[in-house]
Amino acid sequence: MYKVPIHDEVPYVQKSFRRLAEEIPSCSLDEYVEEATNKELNLRCSQCDLVILTKKANDWKITTLPNDDWLETSPSMEYFCYSTCGGACAPSGMGHSHGKGKDSRHHVRESEGLLGITNMAEAIKKWLPSEKHYVLADSFVLLSKTDQLEKFLTHEHGAFNTLKCTRCLAYLGYALRKHKQVYKLFLTATDLFTSDPKLSYIPMRYNSNERYFAWLLLHRSEAESSLKLVVRSTEKKPHMLIWILDSYYIMTLGQLEKDTPSHKEEQKEDQENLVALKIEIEPENEIFQAPSFTALKVLYKIFDEETALSDPRATGGDASIGFIDMPSNSVMKMMEIILANSLQLPPMCRAIKLWHAVANI
């Protein structure tokens, strides 16, 4: 591996994790739904291919969420602003706005009171699924129990309300606590696709599971404001600690050659053997060209049964740690990708003290 120096007067600024996460998907969520409209919609278990849901064309509707945490954060913030000052951020139809002075604020509370809360509940319904209406986020899909899913999903009533595939018993998601009729299924444990084979969700938006997990790490790192993330199952069992270091760009086109500049007199003697990168793109019909890509450099640590119970980063004792919750089979899939990429490094570069290194993901 070579480090190629860049000699240019143009300042180069490293991309932020937020910008990298935005550039990974090949299309937005709304664009995917637009392409899938007027086609048959299907959802199946990714482990045994059991079809969980099938809807004919023009017989379904999908609402997209702005982000994965929308249902947990936005309704609470709207209710907080409404109940404290009658804010203008309240959904339309509540019939009030920010007042001027204490009297108007008091008037909003006294006159609307519980009526405002009722209207708030009605406004939130558009973000919840119903029969033939589904809610899609970047990493999960929300289904309604009224779609007769009992034949394909086993609901384990307990602390976590987990959902299993009835055929292979793989964990697919869980039922929401506040809305028990709503099922949340993760898109890493299920396959969302249409009658057009090109419109399978993860292959179309992210091209591969590897790119999807890279996006997930960047997205959760930005949301949690932390570079250290603990990957847990939906039963809150910690499996792996990931420490995101930085990103770098891998140039896969071209070949390394000796630098022979025309202005030799301006070069120093110790730069005569400088290795430079010369890009030479071959015709596509002669040789396959892999596009250049951005990779993440991370360190990881796998928890065993003992460290999962004693390490404060796994138990939540370290406030600087963020969390990623997925079904256990999705966690295993992510760990396999990271371990496979780590083995591509030379043996001496695979470990740093108690941490294991991975070159890209």
DSSP letter for each residue of 299-359: EEEE--TTHHHH-HHHHT--TT-EEEEE-HHHHHHHHHHHHHHHTTS-GGGSEETTEEEES
Q: Which residues are within 8 A (CB) of 318 and not within 5 positions of it... i.e. 6 or more apart?
A: 312
Confidence of residue 85 (pLDDT cuts 50, 70, 90): very low
pLDDT at 292: 62
When pLDDT is averaged across residues 8-24 and rounded to a whole number, the result is 74
What is the tally of helices (H) and strands (E) in the chain? 9, 18
Q: Report percent pLDDT > 90 for the chain.
A: 34
pLDDT value, residue 92: 43
Q: What is the pLDDT of residue 170?
A: 93
DSSP class of residue 159? S
Mean pLDDT of the chain: 75
Least confident of 2-6, 34-38, 102-106, 199-203: 102-106
| Residues 324, 230: Cα–Cα separation, whole Å | 6
Give 171's pLDDT tier (boundaries 50, 70, 90): very high
pLDDT at residue 326 greater than cutoff 90: yes
> How do the domains of the chain map onto residue ranges?
27-207, 208-250+290-358
Supply the pLDDT for residue 217: 92
Query: Would you place residue 146 in the very low, low, confident or very high pLDDT band (cuts 50, 70, 90)?
Result: confident
pLDDT at site 228: 93
Q: Is 268 exposed, middle or buried (0-12, 13-18, 19+ CB in 10 A)?
A: exposed
- Listed range (11-20, 61-70, 236-245) with the worst mean pLDDT: 11-20
Give 169's pLDDT tier (boundaries 50, 70, 90): very high
pLDDT at 9 over 80: no
pLDDT at 4: 56
Burial class (CB in 10 A: 0-12, 13-18, 19+), 212: buried
Look at residue 253 and give its three-state secondary structure: coil
